[in-house]
Amino acid sequence: MLNKLNKQPEDKILQLMQWYKDDTRDNKIDLGVGVYKDATGLTPVMRAVKNAEQRLWAEETTKTYTALAGDAGFHKVMADLVLAESVPRNRVAAAATPGGTGAIHMVLELAKMANPDVTVWLSAPTWPNHPSIVRHLGMKMTEYRYFDEATLAVDFDGMMADLDKVKAGDLVLLHGCCHNPTGANLNLTQWDKVADKLLEKGAVPFVDIAYQGFGDGLDEDAAAVRLLAARMPEMLIAASCSKNFGIYRERTGIVLAICPDAETQPVTQGNLAFLNRQNFSFPPDHGARLVTIILSDPELRAEWMAELEDVRLGMLALRQQLADELQRLSGSDRFGFIAQHRGMFSRMGATPEQVAALREKHGVYMVGDSRINIAGLNRKTVPVLAKALIDVGV
């Protein structure tokens, strides 16, 4: 049986992690996988998380199962964090999942159960795991234009022209903030136009929000998802706590399903619990509980918010430094986009050959499409990267 299996294609991002590990040069720079690193290159456990863990250790009296859809307290704090007051809670179904990827998988499965023929629209480009999961689930998939390779900004006209072809009931996957891999994002006026278009077409938005707090701030980064939640009859959301709580390996994510009315909510909730049961029974609880403790306690919440804000401002400062450095070296403004982009990533507009040269000649590791993880930089490596980019002709 097992000899009938085909070799799977390498995951480009995870492959890059391995290449970086295997490189013996001291001055190598890892701008690959989307993991936050501080100025010393470490991915620290946030102080608020450590404090919540201490509290959990002292107070937790059992490790028995939670509910199939996860703990109701986690649903509440996450619905508040992502949706705020945008939609009444009796329209929101929720299920904890193993990470944001688990949530994406679950949303797609739910959509497929509701409509086996559903077409999923993805931004071009998008996180490579999106099309991979859609394909794995055997669902129909198509793309809408999103990124202008020439300006390295959103191609909004192209996006709207493509969304005009969306059919009633289609699922349109949108990045809630901090677009991965491009770093280019819609403004709120544009989001409003997207909402108009989806409403006109009767399509369902599916928002993947994995970087809330990494762009313009916790509320600012949720403004788009809240705008859609307030306007759309139905919406599916996959949210991740991996990055903004720094709890990557705890696998903490959630599906939030906004139902057309309160009557549809219990059946949707039941289907989410059913899907969890079929896939893995109960979702992981440790990370979800830490998030619940942090968000429910004013002191821990304030500590977490301050820490997250430091992370965000640190990345913004690195963006500005890189843009300034490249302007100085190139004598042109063409790198201004780096300071305009938001979140962990920016696409640099380098060719695959230039990306390979950066890796081979300079020990700079970025994804093949020239996506860099801004948090992989520090004040000392920014000038090194800038010089290397100019050297390979970007």
Residue 338 · residue 326 · CB < 8 Å: yes
Tokens linked to 345:
């990533």
Within 10 angstroms of residue 369's Cβ, the number of other Cβ atoms is: 16
Work out how close the CB of 151 gets to ligand LMR at its nearest, in angstroms, rounded to a whole number.
Answer: 23
Largest Cα–Cα separation, the chain:
63
User: What are the percentages of helix, strand and coil residues in the chain, rounded to 5?
Assistant: 50, 15, 35
One-letter identity of residue 297: D
Q: Which residue bears the tokens 């990045």?
A: 175
Identity of the residue, 269 or 373, whose beta carbon is nearer to ligand LMR in the bound complex: 373
Work out how close the CB of 9 gets to ligand LMR at its nearest, in angstroms, rounded to a whole number.
Answer: 14
- Choosing from 16, 29, 30, 34, the residue that interacts with ligand LMR (CB under 6 A) is 34
Work out how close the CB of 128 gets to ligand LMR at its nearest, in angstroms, rounded to a whole number.
Answer: 8
Q: Catalytic: which of 30, 162, 170, 208? A: 208
Identity of the residue, 54 or 132, whose beta carbon is nearer to ligand LMR in the bound complex: 132
Q: How many residues bind ligand LMR (CB under 6 A)?
A: 5
Q: Is 57 a catalytic residue?
A: no
H helix or E strand, kind and range, residue 77: helix 72-83
Q: Is 210 a catalytic residue?
A: yes
Q: Catalytic: which of 94, 210, 386, 388? A: 210
User: Does the footprint of ligand LMR cover residue 180 (CB under 6 A)?
Assistant: yes
Residue 180 DSSP code: T
Identity of the residue, 146 or 156, whose beta carbon is nearer to ligand LMR in the bound complex: 146
Work out how close the CB of 181 gets to ligand LMR at its nearest, in angstroms, rounded to a whole number.
Answer: 7
Give me the phi and psi of 205, to 5 degrees please. Answer: -75, 140
Identity of the residue, 166 or 184, whose beta carbon is nearer to ligand LMR in the bound complex: 184
Work out how close the CB of 99 gets to ligand LMR at its nearest, in angstroms, rounded to a whole number.
Answer: 9
Identity of the residue, 127 or 206, whose beta carbon is nearer to ligand LMR in the bound complex: 127
> What string of DSSP letters covers 290-348?
HHHHHHHSHHHHHHHHHHHHHHHHHHHHHHHHHHHHHHHHHSSSTTTHHHH--SSEEE-
Distance of CA 266 to CAs 20, 85, 109, 257, Å?
Answer: 47, 20, 18, 11
User: Does the footprint of ligand LMR cover residue 13 (CB under 6 A)?
Assistant: yes
| DSSP bridge partners of 141 | 120
Q: Catalytic: which of 69, 79, 94, 127? A: 127
Q: Is 285 a catalytic residue?
A: no
Q: Is 243 a catalytic residue?
A: yes
Residue 94 · residue 272 · CB < 8 Å: yes
Work out how close the CB of 278 gets to ligand LMR at its nearest, in angstroms, rounded to a whole number.
Answer: 23
Identity of the residue, 34 or 287, whose beta carbon is nearer to ligand LMR in the bound complex: 34
Residue 368 · residue 355 · CB < 8 Å: yes
Tell me the C-alpha distance between 280 and 273, whole Å: 11
User: Does the footprint of ligand LMR cover residue 36 (CB under 6 A)?
Assistant: no
User: Does the footprint of ligand LMR cover residue 98 (CB under 6 A)?
Assistant: no
Q: Catalytic: which of 69, 243, 285, 375? A: 243
Identity of the residue, 99 or 314, whose beta carbon is nearer to ligand LMR in the bound complex: 99
The residues, ordered by sequence, that sit 6+ positions from 81 with a Cβ below 8 Å of its Cβ are: 212, 218, 222, 239, 295
Work out how close the CB of 71 gets to ligand LMR at its nearest, in angstroms, rounded to a whole number.
Answer: 24
User: Does the footprint of ligand LMR cover residue 183 (CB under 6 A)?
Assistant: no
| b/e burial code for range 76-108 (CB count within 10 A of at least 16 → b) | bbbbebbbbebbeeebbbbbbbbbbbbbbbbbb
Tell me the C-alpha distance between 383 and 344, whole Å: 18
Distance of CA 68 to CAs 75, 239, 272, Å?
Answer: 12, 18, 9
Work out how close the CB of 326 gets to ligand LMR at its nearest, in angstroms, rounded to a whole number.
Answer: 23
- Choosing from 15, 17, 33, 286, the residue that interacts with ligand LMR (CB under 6 A) is 33
- Choosing from 20, 36, 121, 127, the residue that interacts with ligand LMR (CB under 6 A) is 127
Identity of the residue, 73 or 128, whose beta carbon is nearer to ligand LMR in the bound complex: 128
List, by residue number, the catalytic residues: 127, 208, 210, 243
Residues within the interface to ligand LMR (CB under 6 A)? 13, 33-34, 127, 180
